[in-house]
Structure 1
Amino acid sequence: MSLLEVEDLRVRFTRRGAADATAVDGVSFSVDAGEVVGLVGESGCGKSVTSLAVMGLLPRTARVTGSVRFDGTDLLTLPPRALAARRGRDLAMVFQDPMTSLNPVLTLGRQLTEVLRAHTDLGRAAAQREAVDLLARVGIPDPRRRVGEYPHQLSGGMRQRVLIAIALACSPRLIIADEPTTALDVTIQAQVLDLLTTLVRESGTAMVLITHDLGVVAGTCDRVNVLYGGRVVETAGRRELFAHPRHRYTTGLLAAVPRVDAPEGTGLSPVPGSVRDLLPWERGCAFSPRCAHADDACRSGDIPLTAGSADGTAGTTGDVATGERAPHAARCVHPASGTPARAGGGAA
C-alpha cells in the first residue's frame, strides 16, 4: 500500500447566483514512501487545488468528494481537530509565496517554535534550540541571530528556506511543495531545489512537487502526473515521460521548453490557445480545442486513461524509489509516438 493514495478526487466550488465551478475532476495518483511525485501543468489545471484538498485547507465553498488515504486513513473523513493534529506532524506543505505564507509580525523563531510546541513535547528553551538547528540545517547563515528577525529582513531565497525548515520541523512523512521556486531567480531556484530534494532523500520523506516547470521535474521527480482541465492526462516515470511522451498536451509542453542543443535560429513552439479553451470532459478531450490532431473521435464522449507505450504496445515504466513497475498511461485518442516536434500536437 502506498503512503498516499488519492482516488477519484473531485473539487467543486459553489458560486452565488452561478453554476458550480469544477476545479478538480476525478484525479487519482499515489505516492510511495521516499518517492518524489510531480504534478505538472499550466496555471488553472487544478494542481494547487488538489494539494489544498489533500491538506484539508480549502474554503467552505469547496465541495470535495473521492478519497485521500494517508497511511490507510481517509483524510477527508477526519474531524477538523484530528486533521489539524496531522498537519505539520505527519504531512506538511511548502507554500508558493514565502512573503505571504510567513506571518510578518512574528519572528522566525516564534513561527518555528509554534510548530514544534504544537506537535512535540519540547519545552520553550528546547524548542528554541531546535529552531536554531533547523535554520542551520536549511543553510541560513548565523541562525542564532536570524531566529529573532522578521520575514521582511530576509531575502526571498532565505524566506523560502525558512518555509522548508517549518515544513521539516516535525519530520513529516509527506511534504507537499507547491511551486516552491516560482518567486525566486534562477540561481536561487537551483539552490532551494537541491536543498529540498537532499533533505527529502536523507530523511526518507515522500514529496509531492507541484510545478509548471518541466526542467524542475526532470531534475527532481521519480514519477510525473500531467494535469489538464482538472484531470490527469498522462502518468509515467520521469525518464519514460521525457523519452516517449504520449499525450498531445505533454508533447506541446515539452516542445515549448528552451533547449541548449537546438539548432541556431530555432524558436520556441508554444502551445496554441489558452487554458480557458476547454471542452467539458464529458464531451471529449478537454485539450481538443488547442490540439492540431483533434478530430470527431476526440470530441465524442469520455476518454479513459489508457496504459501503453509510444509504439502502441502495452508499456510500463520503472519506479525509481521502489523498483516496482507502474504503467505509462495517457488520456488520448491519438497518442504521440515519439519526442515532441511542434506546438499543439507534438510528434506524429
Structure 2
Amino acid sequence: MTTRQRSLLLAAGALGLGASGASSYVHYQLVSNPSYASFCDVNATVSCTETYLSQYGSFLGMPVALLGVLFFAAILALVGVGGQVGSPARESVPGYVFAASTIGLAFVLYLAWASFFVLGAFCILCVISYAAVIALFIISGGATPFPMTTLPGRAARDSRALFSSPTGLIVVLLLLGGVGSMIGLFPREEAVAQAVAVQDLPPLSEQDRTQLAAWWDVQPRLDIPVDAEGAPVLIVKFSDYMCPGCRIAHQSYKGVVDKYTASGDVTHVLKHYPLEPECNAHVPGGNHFASCEGAAAEVMAREKGTADAVNEWLFANQSALSPATVKQAAREVGRIEDFDGKYAEALKTVRA
C-alpha cells in the first residue's frame, strides 16, 4: 500500500464517518424530539426522515447510521494505525479493508435499493455514506497486492501482534468503549411522547386563554361529516401505520388525547388512509405494503374490543411491519382468528 493509497483510504473513511455521524445525530433527534425538523428534508422525495424512521432505518434494533459510525471508525483505526510506515500489518491492511468493504458494499446496495425503489426517497447523508463505501472498495481492491486466499493466515498473524502491542490494545478498547457508549446512550423508544406529561403543566393564564381564543376565532372552518358525540372538540386523524410522521404524531399526542377524551371534552376519530393502492386508489404509487393489512386489523379488532391494543402494537412495531407480522399480531394481540376470511370486508370500511 502506497502513501497515496493510504491517504485516499483515510479520506474515504473520514467522509463516511462524517456522514454517518451526522445521520446518527439526525436519527437521534427524530426519535427523541418529535418536533425536530431534519436539515436534510427538502421535500417528500428528498428526505432523511422517511428513510431513517422506516423499517430499513434499523438493523437488529440498532440504527443503521450507528452501524455506519462503527464501520468507518474501525476502518480509520485500521488504516491509521495498522497502515503506518513500519507497521508489520501495513501490507495486509488494504486486504482487510477490501474484505470489510465488500460486505459493506452488499449492505449499502440493499439499503440503496430499499431507499430508491421501495420507499421512493433520496437521503442525502445516506448517499454520501454509500459513496464512501464504494470508494473504500475500489481503492482497497487496487491496493491489495496479495491473493485474498492468504487473508485468514495474515489475520491470525496480525491479531497476535495486535494483542501483544499496548497501542493496539488501547485502540481496540477505545473502539469497544465507543460502541458500548453509543448503544447505551441511543434512545430505545421510537419517540419521546412529551405530551404524556401534560398533566404536570401549569394551567393556562387568562392572558393565554384570551390569545388562544383570538387565534382560534380566525382559523378557517371546514364542516366534516363526522359525529363529535357532543364533545366541544373533534379531532379527526388520518393515519397510515407505516408512515413515520404518523407514528410520531400518535406517540406525541397520545397523552393529550387520552386525558381529554376521558373527560368528554374531546372526541378522537381515527380515519385510515393507507399509502397502498390495494385499499387506497388515491395513491397508485404507494409503497407501504403492509398498511392495508394494518388498517384492516384495526377495523376487525373493533368487534373484539382490542382495537386500541392493535393500534398501539402497529405503531410501536412499525419498522417490522409486513403482511405476515400484521396477521400474527392480529391473531395474538387482537384475538382475530380468521384474518384472511374477514379481510375483504374490513377493507370496505377502510376505503369508506
TM-score (norm 2): 0.22
- Structure with larger Rg: 2
Q: As a proportion of its length, which structure holds more strand?
A: 1
Q: As a proportion of its length, which structure holds more helix?
A: 2
